[in-house]
Structure 1
Amino acid sequence: MDTTTSTEAGTLLRAQNMSTWKSKLRHCLKRNVLLIAIITSVVLGVILGMFTRRLKPSPHTVSLISVPGDLLMRMFKLLLLPLVSSSMVTGVANLNKSRGKLGIMTLAYYLCTSVIATVLGIVLAITVRPGEVTKTDPLSDRVHDMPLPVTTDAILDLLRNIFPENIMQAAFQHSKTTFTKYMTEPVNTNGTTLTKHSSTKYGGYIWQKSVNYQDGMNVTGILLFFAVFGVMLNKLGESGRAMVDFFHVLNEITMNMTKLVMWYSPIGIPFIIMTKIIEVPDLETSAQQLAMYMVTGLLGLAIHSLIVLPTIYFTLTRQNPFRVSLGMVESLLTGLGTSSSAAALPLTIRCCEEKLKFSKPICRFVLPIGATINMDGLAIIQALTPIFLAQMNQRMLTFADLVAISLSATLASIGAAGVPGTGFITMLLVVAAVGLPVEDAYIVLAVDWFMMRMVTMVNVYNDSLAAGILTKYFTPPSNSEEISN
């Protein structure tokens, strides 16, 4: 009798365990259905692209295949301006409680680490050169069919774009120094010959230098305008609350539209990958370039999270930074699974308060701000991507281009919201900042789903380090009133 009862109890326990396991599996699949769909779409796009490439389709067929992918890219570009403007303004304007030393140190820390991350991404891109897996045609040996703008011209172009004449025009045009070819010395409309300062001889022709507007968003001007706009709105306090609410609602609407686009992405991504595989002249080289892009990006994230940030934390606190990473395992895994700093925020707060014993008021103040404006990992990838694309297209970037990338990547990472899907959209802004066609960025969509999860882990880790550093230097208020965002 006892044996029968024990057997029945064991069977019942196994059934309960099996039911619990199935329930957890269903919950996991439901929570990660978009991730699974994107991974599946990437694999499907590679398989179909390889198969279709062997069939050698006509250009007309290729253009039809590219339509769903083109629609996805159009959706991404459509959301660029409203997403970045609303995120930038709300991210800065909502810091109305950040006055004082705590707020200044919080913002200073996040800004400094973002700048370091951007510089790291640029240095790695220039050093590793992931877009040049073959060394047969180095950029330095290329022969140009026209004179290139000198460093002074590039810097002046950057300054003109930082201060655009018209903010509406900046949404679709930017200033650039260009050259026009003449067979003989050009003349002005009044009949006088142009001075030597505005024309030059090159390749047997005379080239007239001028500053013109070209198609393409003026990214640096727009980002700086809305950053300053947010700061001024912050200073207005309650009198500017209506405008803050407007941008907050705009941000929420844009975020919901972004989520809709992300649900369409598993449909568009296979066609983007198929089109790229069909059109690329050397598939093996392109695959090697994309692999090197991933390796370089992961190397940058590893250096930043394992060397740079721990060094800063140890220098400022004289405490073991890896103790923080052990206490943040649950939050880091959540960020890995969701690709969202905002989704991991509740767990980040709980891990910092309960496991790491950081100051509760400081955690409640610092961590929500970090989930909004601290995107160090994204800054690395955003700095790497345009240089990678320029190397693929054998385009030489000037020093001013690198400055534009630094500025745009830093501001775009601050303005990027901590939700899935926004990282690639803001990446397009940085690509456009140096005049590269944003359509070229679709090649990184094949690995974007993976890279953004690594990025989120770096962002969450840096948030926790910031809470630890500020806990070291600030004493919570005596009345224990929690500071909230």
Structure 2
Amino acid sequence: MKKLALHWQILIGMTLGVLWGIFASSYGLVDFTLDWLKPFGTIFINLLKLIAVPLVLVSLITGVSSLSDISRLSRIGSKTIGIYLATTVLAVTMGLILVNVFAPGKAFSPEKREEFKEQFAATTTQKSTDAAAVEQQGPLQPLIDIVPDNVFRSLTDNGSMLQVIFFALLFGIALIMIPSNKAAPVNDFFEGVNLVILKVVDIIMKFAPYGVFALLAGLVVEFAGDDPSAALELLLVLGYYCIVVIIGLALMITVVYPILVTTVGKTRYKDFFKGIFPAQMLAFSTSSSAATLPVTMERCEQNLGINKEITSFVLPLGATINMDGTSLYQAVAAVFIAQAYGMNLDIMTQIGIVLTATLASIGAAAVPGAGTVMLVIVLQQAGIPVEGIALILAPDRILDMCRTVVNVTGDATVAMVVARTEGQLHPPIEEPA
């Protein structure tokens, strides 16, 4: 009997997790689920975070050092960043067009706005405080933050991924510049470590269906509590807004990325989608591009045929700076809140939202909820009441799951495009259905 492919196992785990969450909310098993099931989801996330930094460090060093010359690194790097920025600007623009056409914010009544403000007052205050700390920094602070003063401290913090990437790039470039006979032992060491880390990924992914089940079960009971109808009622109130965001995200996955994959990548989108599907499912359940990175890299190399030289550079960089889904969400959410408050944003203000959301997406950590903090900065730049963020906090976790799928799909798309233009695509390894 054939063993089910990983993506089917994850999909089954997700479905059972949602069903259990509804059952637990209906029959008074909320505490049991939170105390005895959800922790296994947390353990699974911790396992993925455990290998995120070493994976990025080692894969980038081996990837950069394998390029053999600085000019090639410069060409691939500029191409990668250019495409990332282009897709992000396109995502933000698409989000603004949709939210202006459908105007979901105008469906809110004043009574409902006050209810949400009161319910999420504490969370809103915390997000505003976090954003204020970021905004008080100087204009070049993001550049300063990229350069670590202690690389070992950066290696102990998943939130310092840009610093890890900077060090890995510097280390890899230095390996290219020293004599090859001296660099060979170092390259061999990191190649060996990389193989070990990838094997650790394989071990962890054996537990993915169970971890995903626990994550989704915990999410549903936290959302619904002891009243399963509460989740449905809340989603219906904010459903219009959610639909607009999801339409934008769906257009990225069904229109923008397929065009890039089929025209530049010269690959059937069906094959691309099948190859990346497990990473998309994991992204949906974890809401973390960084946590999904090991699986994204594995699927791109084995199932899409992208050379490791490309994946080890493009994907870790994308998990940090390429947030198409997050940027689109920030554009929709900002205008939605303005509409809810009866504000009409002029064209220059909306252009400002495009620029701010694009830059904010580069600085957003690849972890759940980071986009919400960056959204506050977008709101402040556009002169939109920050407390309006309370209106969108309820469905944000679900939308976070959806936009992370777009982020991960965008990373894989750019990796395929860069690989094709560099002649680095080869026949993928076949996986049983």
TM-score per shorter chain, which class? Answer: 0.5 to 0.7
Q: What's the counterpart of residue 100 of structure 1?
A: 74
Could you say which structure has the higher strand fraction?
1
Q: Distance in 2 between matches of 1:379 and 1:39?
A: 35
Q: What's the counterpart of residue 140 of structure 1?
A: none
Deviation of residue 290 (structure 1)?
A: 2.1
Change (3 A) 1:328 1:254: closer
Q: Is the 8 A contact 1:133 1:288 kept in 2?
A: no
* Structure-to-structure mapping, 1:367-382, within 5 angstroms: 367-382=315-330
Q: What's the counterpart of residue 183 of structure 1?
A: none
Q: What's the counterpart of residue 340 of structure 1?
A: 288
Say which structure, 1 or 2, has more relative contact order (CA 8 Å, 6+ apart).
2
Q: TM-score, normalised by structure 2?
A: 0.58
Q: What's the counterpart of residue 116 of structure 1?
A: 90
Q: Is the 8 A contact 1:223 1:412 kept in 2?
A: no
Q: What's the counterpart of residue 149 of structure 2?
A: 242
Residue 226 in structure 1 maps to residue 200 in structure 2? no
> Structure 1 unaligned runs (5+)?
1-23, 45-89, 136-170, 173-215, 234-240, 256-264, 272-276, 278-283, 477-485
Deviation of residue 251 (structure 1)?
A: 6.5
- Give 1:379's aligned amino acid: S
Change (3 A) 1:304 1:415: same
Q: Distance in 2 between matches of 1:461 and 1:225?
A: 30
Q: What's the counterpart of residue 355 of structure 1?
A: 303
Give deviations 1:219-262, integer Å, cap 9, x for gaps.
7885853344467x5xxxxxxx526666776764899xxxxxxx
Deviation of residue 314 (structure 1)?
A: 2.1
Change (3 A) 1:446 1:372: same
Please report the RMSD computed on the Cα atoms of aligned residues, expressed in angstroms: 4.7
Q: What's the counterpart of residue 125 of structure 1?
A: 99
Deviation of residue 268 (structure 1)?
A: 11
Q: Distance in 2 between matches of 1:413 and 1:447?
A: 20
Residue 306 in structure 1 maps to residue 254 in structure 2? yes
Q: Is the 8 A contact 1:114 1:379 kept in 2?
A: yes
Residue 451 in structure 1 maps to residue 399 in structure 2? yes
* Structure-to-structure mapping, 1:388-467, within 5 angstroms: 388-467=336-415
Q: Distance in 1 between matches of 2:23 and 2:376?
A: 21
Change (3 A) 1:313 1:293: same
Q: Distance in 2 between matches of 1:340 and 1:398?
A: 34
Q: 1:318 aligns with which of 266, 282, 286?
A: 266
Q: Is the 8 A contact 2:325 2:403 kept in 1?
A: yes
Q: Is the 8 A contact 2:280 2:405 kept in 1?
A: yes
Q: Is the 8 A contact 2:92 2:327 kept in 1?
A: yes
Q: Distance in 1 between matches of 2:327 and 2:23?
A: 24
Deviation of residue 390 (structure 1)?
A: 0.4
Whichever of the two has the greater Rg, that structure is: 1
Q: Is the 8 A contact 1:428 1:438 kept in 2?
A: yes
Deviation of residue 302 (structure 1)?
A: 0.7
- Give 1:455's aligned amino acid: R
Q: What's the counterpart of residue 296 of structure 1?
A: 244
Q: TM-score, normalised by structure 1?
A: 0.52
Q: Distance in 2 between matches of 1:382 and 1:342?
A: 20
Q: Distance in 2 between matches of 1:358 and 1:253?
A: 27
Deviation of residue 331 (structure 1)?
A: 1.1
Change (3 A) 1:222 1:404: farther
Residue 386 in structure 1 maps to residue 293 in structure 2? no
Q: Distance in 2 between matches of 1:463 and 1:309?
A: 10
Q: What's the counterpart of residue 479 of structure 1?
A: none
- Give 1:130's aligned amino acid: P
Q: Is the 8 A contact 2:94 2:328 kept in 1?
A: yes
Deviation of residue 421 (structure 1)?
A: 2.3
> Which ranges of 4 or more aligned residues in structure 1 deviate by more than 6 Å?
36-41, 218-221, 243-251, 265-271, 286-289
Q: Secondary structure at the match of 1:109?
A: helix
Aligned residues: 304
Give deviations 1:147-172, integer Å, cap 9, x for gaps.
xxxxxxxxxxxxxxxxxxxxxxxx99
- Give 1:290's aligned amino acid: L
Give deviations 1:329-368, integer Å, cap 9, x for gaps.
1111111111111111111111111111111211111111
Change (3 A) 1:37 1:122: same
Q: Distance in 2 between matches of 1:39 and 1:101?
A: 54
Identity of aligned residues (%): 30
Q: What's the counterpart of residue 172 of structure 2?
A: none
Deviation of residue 104 (structure 1)?
A: 0.7
